Amino acid sequence: MPTNKLWIEHTERAAWESVSALRDKLAQAEQRMARLAPPREGWAALLDELDAAKTRQGLPDGSYAALIRGLLERMTELEARASASLEQRERVQEVQVQSVPARIAWERDSDPALSALDDDDRESSFLRAVSRRARAQGQEAGRTTLDGLLAEIEAKVDVLAESQEPEIPEISVDLAALSLRLEALARRRPRE
């Protein structure tokens, strides 16, 4: 029977590739089995942890597979609730941020009593707006560092450089409030 040398080489190469692929699959399966089967002393600790989690989470009795499924479902539910809560918090903060400029603009521009005030009263009104804004910023930011406040001021100055005229009063109140917080933090710093 005549044989073709190229056909024999092709067949041998295909056989070795099949053997290599099977060896890789076998190695992966062995690694997976090793991960699923901790040492004998590891089982007791693992099962104790699962029982404790079952008690803490108030899950019903059943197989450990059912317990793990229940824990995974609980984790998925908590992740979804956390995500929804974070989205809601972001929406509330966005509404609050949008409402502050409107409030200040109303106080300053829409109130005829404020527009009729002399310069001293305008300064007092501006200082009150700055004080309120600084308190609001401080509550939102929590404890801030000097470097963090300086970075916020630099960012606000950059925004000011690109702003249109109607936005400038609002940004100036923000800058003044940040400066007020920076001054207060710098005075407190040597004592700390």
- CB neighbours of residue 137 within 10 Å: 18
Can you state the angle between helices 168-188 and 64-105, rounded to 10 degrees? 110
**pTM check: above 0.85:** no
Q: List the pLDDT tens digit at each of the 192 positions of the chain.
A: 567 888 888 889 999 999 999 999 999 999 888 877 666 777 777 788 888 888 887 777 888 888 888 888 888 988 998 888 888 887 777 766 555 555 555 455 544 544 555 556 677 777 788 888 777 777 666 557 778 878 888 888 888 788 777 778 888 888 888 887 777 777 776 554
Q: Is 124 exposed, middle or buried (0-12, 13-18, 19+ CB in 10 A)?
A: exposed
> What is the distance between the alpha carbons of residues 134 and 50, in angstroms, rounded to a whole number?
49
